[in-house]
Amino acid sequence: MIRLENVSLAFEDKVILDNISLSIKKGEIAVILGPSGAGKSSIIKIMVGLWQPDSGRVFIGNKDISKLSESEMLPLRRKMGIVFQGNALFDSLTVEENVSYFLKEHGSLKSSEINAKVSEILSFINLEGTEKICIDQLSGGMKKRVAIARALSFDPEIIFYDEPTTGLDPINAKSILDLIKRVSERGATSIAVTHILNDAVSIGDTLSVINDGTVVQTGTVQDMLASENKFVKDFFYVVYQDAALLKNKKFYK
């Protein structure tokens, strides 16, 4: 569904992405895992065509988008939804206005159809009753849900999440992760980037660990745990630690 081939990107002299190759299958939840500043957000921006790579190719389906102009990107953008790291909601507008914003912008839909769509989405993400609340009055977890709701407004085939649980408490984080799984069950291909190991393990069908703009390892959780790579071992160290802890304390039989 999505394929990066030898993608590189630099800003001035600083290399951000160095020869990245990745492949994401239709319908799966792919997690890109890496520490802060590894280039996670940059990969997402390249995948949705907001940035063009300096070299390499980016395929969505069979189409190479790495050189497409803004207007050539348009039809593809209708198939993608993106949840930004900082949500990027329009903060002076209400929940309803945010979710319906792009439906109104591009829509061929009548306003009654837009309203129906918005309430369908809001009930899917368990936010009924918040339609008229202004974004700046919402909690972090709710904002994230609204951002997901907006991304769902065009029933995207592919949905991108940039650090969906960063800054949320464990309860809210878990409900966002559950939501991501439910969205995926609707049939969307999902790509999530995160630095939180727990999230990656709990939702990821496949993981790719990146560091300093390069892919260190890709595979399933088992592959990661079996990896001999030093960086992967360090990154997954807490998993071993937690496992040991749980065993000692006998939380589980």
Ligand X SMILES: Nc1ncnc2c1ncn2[C@@H]1O[C@H](COP(=O)(O)OP(=O)(O)OP(=O)(O)O)[C@@H](O)[C@H]1O
**Interface stretch with other proteins, choices 1-9, 27-35, 79-87, 107-115 (CB under 8 A):** 79-87
Among positions 27-56, residues that touch ligand X (CB under 6 A) are 34, 36-42
Whole-number minimum distance, CB 35 to Mg ion, in Å?
11
Residue 6 identity: N
d(CA 183, CA 174): 14
105 near other proteins (CB under 8 A): yes
Indicate the residue among 53 and 216 with the shorter CB distance to other proteins: 53
Q: Is 164 in the site for ligand X (CB under 6 A)?
A: no
- Residue 16 or residue 216: which is nearer to ligand X going by CB? 16
Write out the binding residues for other proteins, residues 133-152 only, by CB under 8 A: 150
Contacting residues toward other proteins, per CB under 8 A: 45, 48, 50, 70, 73-74, 77-78, 80, 82, 84-86, 88-91, 101-102, 105-106, 150, 154
